[in-house]
Chains A and B, each alone.
Chain A
């Protein structure tokens, strides 16, 4: 799955005399694993770079023909893993179930996730926060026809996993 950028144009906010920072942070907080932020601004937003760096994003600035700037923030250390059966352009609806399994003793997260998936409808998405990469779960998911994407969070502590239930489960 190629990195997906959520686009945010703060030029109208600034033109209306508003403060863009809260809007930017709202979008950043909602970024899923494998998503970056593409920001359009009338100037290069220097103060934002440090904030975003602390949140684990690297940036690339390019000047547009109009004289405005396009800044792409990409999650830094977090390589996004996706199952082989995921195609570009796959639709990932909002997760219908979310869990924090980070405190569970392995292999309990695997048991719980497989249990939940059995009771979900095809196409539904499960989101879980785990204490580590669930390496034995991945193949079981693919074998059962589920699609998944996951990554460590920016400080590398928690693994965030999205699973889209398959039809041949």
Chain B
């Protein structure tokens, strides 16, 4: 069967991910687990995982469940895995967070739950990886977006694997002295394989298609291969650095240097490609999702630049922390929030009006959103991320707390806008629900496109 259909669980993934983002930001706003100073404290690790896995992980998973079939122009393979995977991921993250809290001594709990959380998370992500990778491979969709999403999935596997080993070591359940002694040295690799190896590579891959679509620009074809090859090079050397890092050899430092440099080069190539698409675009007045997405790109550049600075100056705290903060909150979160502002109304529109389209008047996609309201929230969000990054560099915990609260408010504001789009609140009353159209459910898409 040709064509893609609406992903059944994507909205549930998005809703859960936004809930995790709000909780993470509120925790930081209350001063819990601020990423200032040493990052290895259990409180910080708990907050980092709520944001990285709960927010970004679920967001990317939900988005890929919809995008991979679109990129490969086919139906999702093994679609029944998506629901159970979501349950496992939420459960895994909850258990892992409890484990970190126990590690901090705030609650009494057997630390053995930590690897259990790791097992849940790994199982959930493995199920998704199998479903997504099978879809791409079965359709032989090996163009630039396809290859990048597959590489990103490899990054996800690497992240889940190292994370599970860490969880085992921290709980004392497994005994890897090599890992236990170098945990704080190895943790940045785990973060890099997640934020860069998995999410950034995936986001870059998907955005080649999305930016072309939303900017009405021709897709760059030939030149994007250099982004792929340098990104793959970075990923390979990152893995090599982790593997050799276990023994603390000098090769590890060299591999890391190559990985960091390749990341920088790849980012430059990617930004040049987006700039070309931007220049060649036929849509002169950009929609809010594109503008906010391009701002996120600025944070990618800033984050990668800080990463180079952190590595080559050897000042991992606070420069490295600020780099990962800019990447996680400015680049990935900013991109995620801005694209949700397009994806949620678009999927809602397709689900609601697809069956009745052509038989009467229906709203346009842009009738389902209110850009004016959302614009303010995006401004607050990006400003507070900038303040937050500055606060980390200046070691100013109170500023970081305030920035986190502002981000939390902006995210709540945007979540309300997504909710309004999903409930068709802004749709003109006369065409809001024409005959035959059904109000979509909040967290679960009707699969009327599936036979």
Number of interface residues of B (CB under 8 A): 26
> B357–A115 contact, CB under 8 A?
yes
Which residue in chain A gives the minimum CB-CB distance to B6? Answer: A136
B2 and A103 within 8 A (CB): no
B1 within 8 A of A: yes
Q: Interface readout for B216-239 with A: 1 if CB under 8 Å, 0 if not?
A: 101000000000000000000000
Complex contact A114–B358 (CB within 8 A): yes
| Interface-lining segment among A13-21, A44-52, A137-145 | A137-145
0/1 string, A101-119, CB within 8 A of B gives 1? 0010111001101111110
Q: In whole angstroms, what is the CA distance A114 to B355 when docked?
A: 10
A133 within 8 A of B: yes
The reply to whether the CB of B288 lies closer than 8 angstroms to some CB of chain A is no
Determine whether A83 belongs to the interface, using a CB cutoff of 8 Å to chain B: yes
Asked whether, in the complex, the Cβ of B3 is within 8 Å of the Cβ of A135, the reply is: yes
Which among A103, A116, A135, A143 is the interface contact of B70 at CB below 8 angstroms?
Answer: A135
Cβ of A117: which chain B residues have Cβ within 8 Å of it? 358
Q: Is the C-beta of A84 less than 8 angstroms from some C-beta in chain B?
A: yes
Q: In the bound complex, do residue B449 and residue A140 qualify as a contact, i.e. CB atoms below 8 Å apart?
A: yes
Q: How far, in angstroms, from A125 to B69 measured CA to CA in the complex?
A: 28
**B248 contacts partner chain A, Cβ-Cβ < 8 Å:** no
Residues of B with C-beta under 8 A to A157: 218
* Cα–Cα, bound, A135→B1 (Å): 11
What separation, in Å, do the CA atoms of A40 and B71 have in the docked complex?
41
Closest to B213 in A: A106
Write the nearest CB–CB distance from B354 to chain A, whole angstroms.
6
B359 CB-CB contact with A under 8 Å: yes
Chain B interface secondary structure, helix, strand, loop or mixed?
loop
How far is the CB of B4 from the nearest CB of chain A, in Å? 5
Do residues B73 and A135 form an inter-chain contact, with CB atoms below 8 A?
Answer: yes
**Chain B residues with CB below 8 A from A111, complex form:** 357-358, 362
A133 to B2, CA, bound (A): 10
Name A133's closest neighbour in chain B (CB-CB): B73
Interface residues of A in 84-128 (CB under 8 A from B): 84, 103, 105-107, 110-111, 113-118
Complex interface: chain B residues within 8 A of A143 (CB): 355, 449, 451
Q: A133 CB to closest chain B CB, in angstroms?
A: 5
> A81 contacts which of B2, B218, B357 (Cβ < 8 Å)?
B2
Q: Is the CB of A136 within 8 A of B283?
A: no
Known contacts A81-B2, A105-B216, A106-B213; is-contact A140 B73 (Cβ 8 Å): no
| Residue from B346, B358, B362 having most chain A Cβ neighbours under 10 A | B358
Other A-B contacts than A118-B358, A140-B449, 20 sampled, CB-CB below 8 A, are A103-B216, A105-B216, A105-B283, A107-B350, A107-B365, A114-B357, A132-B213, A135-B2, A135-B3, A136-B3, A136-B4, A136-B354, A138-B3, A139-B1, A139-B3, A140-B354, A140-B357, A143-B449, A143-B451, A157-B218
Chain B residues positioned under 8 Å from A113 (CB to CB): 358
Of A103, A105, A115, A117, which is in contact with the most chain B CB atoms at under 10 Å from its CB? A105
Residues of chain B whose beta carbon lies under 8 Å from any beta carbon of chain A: 1-5, 69-70, 73, 213, 216, 218, 282-283, 346, 349-350, 354-355, 357-359, 362, 365, 449-451
Contacts of B283 in A (CB 8 A): 105
Q: Which residue of A lies closest to B448 (CB)?
A: A143
Of all chain B residues, the one with the shortest Cβ separation from A83 is: B2
Closest A residue to B347 using CB positions: A136
Please, which residues of chain B bring their CB within 8 A of the CB of A118?
A: 358-359
Question: What's the minimum C-beta distance from B353 to chain A, rounded to whole angstroms?
Answer: 9
Q: Measured between alpha carbons, how far is A161 from B222 in the docked complex, in Å?
A: 26
Q: Which residue of A lies closest to B221 (CB)?
A: A156
Whether the pair A135, B357 counts as a contact (CB closer than 8 A) is no
- For window 61-76 of chain A, which residues contact chain B by CB distance below 8 Å? none
Chain A residue at minimum C-beta to C-beta distance from B75: A139
With a CB–CB cut-off of 8 A, which chain B residues contact A107? 346, 349-350, 365
Contacts of A138 in B (CB 8 A): 2-3
Assembled-state Cα–Cα distance A84/B75 (Å): 14
* Min CB–CB distance B1 → chain A (angstroms): 6
A140 touches B2 (CB 8 A): no
Q: How far apart are A86's CB and chain B's nearest CB, in angstroms?
A: 11
